[in-house]
Chains A and B, each alone.
Chain A
Amino acid sequence: MDPRVKQFLQAAASTIVLLAAWQTASYFFPHYLFPPLLDVVKRVVDIVISGPLLTEVLVTAARIFAGLAGAFLLGAVVALLIGRSPFIESYVTPVLVFLQGIPALSWVVIAIIWFHGIEFRIFFIMVLTTLPAFTFQILDAFRSMSKDLFEMTMAFRPRTWTLFRVLIVPTIVPGILTAWKVNIGNAARVVVVAELVGATGGVGYQLLRQQQLFDMAGAIAWTLQLVLFVLVVQQAIVAIEGFVLRYRAVSERAM
């Protein structure tokens, strides 16, 4: 059997078992605890086909992308500075490690106290929570650059920009793609926390409303919107990765 078909069937089987268990639970427990699958599906479809509700999902998606883009750009600059100067590294790395230890919820509280604008608050939280990971991942990709390839390229005496284009960018691209794949999931979790506490729109805000209404079907439907968004973006990154890294040899033997 084709390995991809097999993988798909295995994933489908485990999902079906999970859904069956949920549906069974809905027969024995009140619907505000375990709503029937049909109710959940109906709510998911309602969100997708309703313009205003879908806008809420798109607002959250835009916040995730904006936060990640900000953290990525800032992280790339910081990683480049650290990579070029041990002096900067000795000062900046401890700060990044410290930032990594601060919970997302603490940033939410700090952002609410410090800033007035909702969008800026969320952007600030997103950047601060994903910046250390982006920086360390880009730095790691930069440092894994082959010394052999570096010396070979330097033998031709490239200008700085050419060196960046022909060697550094292709070297760090796999690391950057991995960083985006990892951080998109983290960002989706953080944005919900930020919206839950400090926003008047978006998936997080909608989840808060469902909690106040004790509406489990709605809570699951909104959660699934975010999960679907992450899955779609992950697949898009995987597709980009497949194209960009097409030069990689693949062994016929599976591990």
Chain B
Amino acid sequence: MTAPTIRFRDVTKVFRRANGRDDLLAVDRLSFEIATGEIVAVLGKTGCGKSTMFNLVAGLIEPTSGEVEVIGHDPFREFEFFRGKIGIIFQNDRLMPWRTALDNVLLGLEILDVAHERAEAVARGWLARLGLSGHENDYPHALSGGMRQRVSIARAFAVEPDILLCDEPFSALDEMTARSLRAEFIRLVQQNRKTAVFVTHLINEAMEVGDRILVFHRPARIALEMRRNPDDEQGARKRILEVLALEDAAP
């Protein structure tokens, strides 16, 4: 059996407040594993610690205690090891306003020192796949919200990462745009055999994207874990709703 790509062992994250009191427990002894090539949807209400878990996987923050392992390494401490291995699609597009669409997609490739000609061919290719041919030289302010998010998807895929992390990437878009981008995203992840963590607060989105769904309660801990079963979507939705309602009922 192959080792999991992502592993959390009793991970806790506490944010220290400026006043030194009222520390915020964001993640509470969280443990889970994600296998290579698996797409896991992490579902929970706003403020339940999904994004904190996401930032821990990305190595953007350090756990207070416990162990985060990604491809067998510590994503926070082993900074160099993860060059080009993790691609991130954020909730907002996070495009650099001073770079054109093409230059934004080139960013990761530039950081990875890919030869410019090859990098440009790759970036143009990804923009074309995402329906942005002809917009290569447009600055972000000249693009619609959906187009900007497509550029950020292209930027994440262009570096050919082993792992894709997505933090509510379509939540700021209208339903029609989100639906088409979601379908495109699933196709790209499956086609490129990526391991993906998809954070969302939408039950339908989690059920559509994830091979497996982790439902979080606040502070981030797993309240329900389930595999996608296309034959019993109604039942799965009902269980998720019940678990989410339990959190409201808790004292």
Is B88 an interface position by the 8 A CB rule?
A: yes
Cβ of A153: which chain B residues have Cβ within 8 Å of it?
A: 107, 111
Is B31 engaged at the interface, CB distance under 8 Å to the other chain? no
Interface residues of B in 79-123 (CB under 8 A from A): 79-80, 82-84, 86-88, 90, 92, 94, 96-99, 107-108, 110-112
Give bound CA distance, A170 to B141, whole Å: 16
Asked if A157 and B111 make an inter-chain contact with CB atoms under 8 angstroms apart, the answer reads yes
Interface check B58, CB cutoff 8 A? yes
- Of the candidates A148, A166, A170, A247, the one whose C-beta lies within 8 Å of that of B111 is A166
Cβ of A149 and Cβ of B96 under 8 Å apart? yes
A59 to chain B, nearest CB (A): 37
Contacts A156-B107, A166-B111 given; does A247 touch B83 at CB 8 Å: no
Partner of A157, one of B79, B90, B110: B79
Would you call A248 and B82 a contact (CB within 8 A)?
no
CA–CA, A170 to B139, complex, Å? 15
Q: How many residues of A contact B (CB 8 A)?
A: 19
* Also in contact, A157 and B80, with CB within 8 A (given A162-B110, A247-B141): yes
Chain A residues whose CB sits within 8 angstroms of the CB of B96 once the complex forms = 149, 166-167, 170
Which residues of chain B have a CB within 8 Å of any CB of chain A? 55, 58, 60, 79-80, 82-84, 86-88, 90, 92, 94, 96-99, 107-108, 110-112, 139-142, 159
In the A-B complex, the 6 residue pairs with the closest CB atoms: A249-B141, A152-B94, A157-B83, A156-B111, A158-B111, A247-B139
- Besides A155-B88, A249-B142, 11 more A-B contacts (Cβ < 8 Å) are A151-B60, A155-B87, A156-B83, A156-B84, A156-B111, A156-B112, A157-B84, A247-B97, A248-B97, A248-B141, A249-B141
